């Protein structure tokens, strides 16, 4: 196992817009990578479906992934990261800060197409599906 891979909503949404099934792509690497998610990603992806059956398929897939929990201590970590980055002039949306904090919490690589995540200190980011 290569490690944990937290997949950002930008990956899912981009692949769906291209007509590619991101769940199949992730299944192909699931022997090598532990695919994880967090509540923010799940909501961002599933809220955009127009067809209920498609939304349900993704909701089922998310329910089989390891979900990074966001108890109160995690929100304090989000707050601390946001405060530190704000002092450095590196503002980000709270949703992105939460995703980044979840990846940092479990030492996961973040698969994202959003370059804002590159500004987060200590976060390992990739924009390409690892092999």
**CA–CA separation, 90 vs 34, rounded Å?**
30
pTM: 0.95
**CA–CA separation, 64 vs 19, rounded Å?**
23
The answer to whether 39 and 67 have CB atoms below 8 angstroms apart is yes
N- to C-terminal Cα separation, the chain: 12
pLDDT at 88: 93
Q: Which long-range contacts (CB under 8 A, 24 or more apart) does 45-50 make?
A: 45/9, 45/12, 45/13, 48/13
Q: Where are the domains of the chain?
A: 3-126
Per CATH, the architecture of 3-126 is what?
Answer: 3-Layer(aba) Sandwich (3.40)
Q: Which residues of the chain have pLDDT under 50?
A: none
């Amino acid at each position: 196992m290569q490690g944990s891979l937290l997949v950002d909503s930008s990956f899912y949404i981009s692949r769906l817009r291209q007509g590619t099934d991101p769940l199949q792509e992730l299944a192909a690497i699931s022997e090598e990578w532990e695919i994880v998610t967090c509540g923010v990603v799940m909501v961002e992806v599933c809220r955009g479906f127009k067809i209920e059956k498609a939304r349900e398929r993704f909701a089922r897939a998310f329910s089989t992934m390891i979900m990074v929990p966001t108890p109160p201590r995690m929100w304090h970590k989000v707050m601390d990261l946001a405060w530190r980055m704000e002092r450095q002039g590196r503002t980000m949306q709270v949703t992105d800060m939460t995703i980044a904090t979840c990846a940092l919490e479990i030492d996961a690589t973040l698969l994202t197409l959003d370059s804002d995540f590159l500004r987060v200190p200590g976060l390992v980011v990739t924009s390409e599906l690892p092999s």
